[in-house]
Amino acid sequence: MPAAGKAGNDTERIRSAIVKIRNVSQRANYEAPWEDRDFSGGRGSGVIISGNRILTSAHVVSDSKYLEIEKEKSGTPYRGVVSFIGHDCDLALIDVLDPTFFEETTSLPFSQEIPELGSLVLVYGFPSGGRRISVTRGIISRIDYTRYSHSGRDYHLILQIDAAINPGNSGGPVLQDEKIVGIAFQVVKKSENVGHVIPITVINHFLDDIEDGIYDGYPDLGIIPTRLLNPAYRDYVGLPKGKTGVVISDLIPGHSAIDVIHPGDLLLSIDGNPIRNDGTILIDDKSYQLEEVVERKQVGDEVVFRLIRDGEEITCRVPLKKNVELMKSWKEYEEKPEYYLFGGLLFQPLSLEYLKTWRGDWWNRADSRLLYYFNYYNRDKLCLARPEVILLTRILAAPVNQYYSGLSDLVVDTVNGEKIVSLASLISAFAAQTGDFHIIEFEGDLPPCVLNARRLKKENLRILERYGVSQDRYLAPREDKN
């Protein structure tokens, strides 16, 4: 078993690589999307790595308005800037513009090995309850996949340690033999003394990803495989004797495999790894979900499948593309909420952040129509008719809309006869109207909303002023869909 650390000067040296981070952040406000919420302060830890860069957890520095970096020894805070941030992997890099900051510091190297189960590690950081550095000893108790709760978007590998990770520890390095084996980042609620650490594989993925100057994130295949555990199913799909695999039920639009893999395809192997009937593969004798192959790749790479389509075994190459997702079903940071406010009518796309405005157990409390559109967007192919689910979220009361002021949280079906498929299509449907009325129709048994077009145009500016809305809209820049 490797030694966890040595006493003396080495510790001094390591300590000079650990920094304290203070972040002043401002969250977006999805209830009043034209304004931000109040400022709040947060703190965390980081580690200096090669190239005068500071690695930390994304959640320590997200939605940053002002960032301060401090070394343990000097009492002077330095101004920091987030250079790269990956919310899905909860990692970020910080630059400090003043080069004198890096005097009398050291950078720590990475260990390219995943530490052994049961081995000792040291957690460095500046947790709450004191000003000075804290070092905690822990052992690796599990290596597993778990949801990265910062964005909640997907599952990645984690190291679980039996040392507590406290607020302020986040972003701090976890060391073994004086090398970084991970970044401390989250705790398991309701368990005592269990901390999660981002392992080297995920850190490498992040650092490789940003080499071209842009963080793309993890590409997804977007395949919905059905396991072939039942012999009747294997017989039905005609899986040849001696072969194993899974059958594709569906594909997610906007993900990499959508036009390449077809429903009904029988996937036999991925990058040469045979797919077992339960959808797993073996890598280095360890069992993983077949998506693990993609987990280790970047946008621009490709994945090669052997599959049976229409009775014929063929090879299929899937180029990995950046995901195009129009329903934001994860926690968003840095992003400004999209909206359009017209005549006091507030339109917003359905998203996780919007549903969270119900607070508490929003997944039960939010309106059941919205929860259905959210949860079954891909499952029930609702995405085809409504790539963006545009809601009339509420109405800022004004004389022109006074008969409709009670309307809220409805799915907009058409505006002036135009099918609404995005916020942009809604805006242009309003703009194109030359008649007397704007007619808004909703999904479900609801009467249309009829508004006087001339009065709406006239009153629009006054409504914006009265409610202190500086901009009537925000639309995020769109990336190309190829």
Partner 1 sequence: MGLRGEGQRVVITSILLLLSLVCGAVHAQSTSEPVKNVPVKLYVTYQETDYSSPWKKKKANSRLGYGCVLPDRKILTTADIVKDATMIKVEKNTEKKYYRGRIEVIDYDVDLAIVTVDDDSFFNDLNPVELEERVRIDQPVKFLVLEESEKIRAIPGEIVKVSVEKYYLSPDSFLTYGAAVNFEDRGGGWSEPVFSGGKLIGLTMSYNSKKQYATIIPTSIIKHFLDAIRPEGYIGFPYHGFIGAAVRDPEFKRYLHLPPGVEGIYIQSVFPDGSADGTLKEGDLLLSIDGFEIDGDGYYEDPFWGKLDCRDIFSRFHYPGDTIEVEFFRNGAVDRKKMRLKRFSRSDYLIPPYSCGSVTEYLIVGGLIIQELTADYLKEWGEKWGTKANKKYLYFYNYHSRSPEPGRERIVILNKILPDQINLGYQRMDELVVAEVNGRPVSRLEDVVEALEQPENVHHRFKFEEFGRELILPADTLSEADRRIGEQYGIGEMRRIIK
Binding site for partner 1 (CB under 8 A): 224, 226-233, 235-237, 247, 249-250, 263, 364-365, 368-369, 371-372, 375-376, 378-380, 403-404, 436-437, 439, 444-447, 450-452
- Is the Cβ of residue 10 or residue 436 nearer to partner 1 in the bound state? 436
- Out of 16, 45, 59, 422, the active site residue is 59
- Is the Cβ of residue 233 or residue 474 nearer to partner 1 in the bound state? 233
Q: Give me the numbers of helices (H) and strands (E) for the chain, helices first please.
A: 11, 28
Q: How far is the CB of 305 from partner 1 (least distance, A)?
A: 19
- Is the Cβ of residue 26 or residue 375 nearer to partner 1 in the bound state? 375
- Out of 170, 256, 269, 422, the active site residue is 170
CA-CA distance, 346 to 344, in Å (whole number)? Answer: 6
- Out of 63, 90, 177, 409, the active site residue is 90
How many CB atoms are closer than 10 A to CB 161? 26
Which residues have C-beta within 8 Å of that of residue 460, sequence separation ≥ 6?
342, 343, 472
Which residues have C-beta within 8 Å of that of residue 379, sequence separation ≥ 6?
none
- Is the Cβ of residue 314 or residue 450 nearer to partner 1 in the bound state? 450
Q: How far is the CB of 343 from partner 1 (least distance, A)?
A: 12
Q: How far is the CB of 33 from partner 1 (least distance, A)?
A: 25
Query: Three-state DSSP class for 245?
Result: coil
Query: Three-state DSSP class for 283?
Result: strand
- Is the Cβ of residue 39 or residue 376 nearer to partner 1 in the bound state? 376
Tokens of 283: 């890598």
Count how many Cα atoms sit within 13 Å of the Cα of residue 451 in the half-sphere of its side chain. Answer: 29
Q: Are 228 and 273 in contact (CB under 8 A)?
A: no
74 noted as active-site residue: no
How many CB atoms are closer than 10 A to CB 258? 17
CA-CA distance, 162 to 441, in Å (whole number)? Answer: 55
Q: How far is the CB of 244 from partner 1 (least distance, A)?
A: 13
128 noted as active-site residue: no
CA-CA distance, 288 to 279, in Å (whole number)? Answer: 9
Q: How far is the CB of 29 from partner 1 (least distance, A)?
A: 25
Which residues carry out catalysis? 59, 90, 170
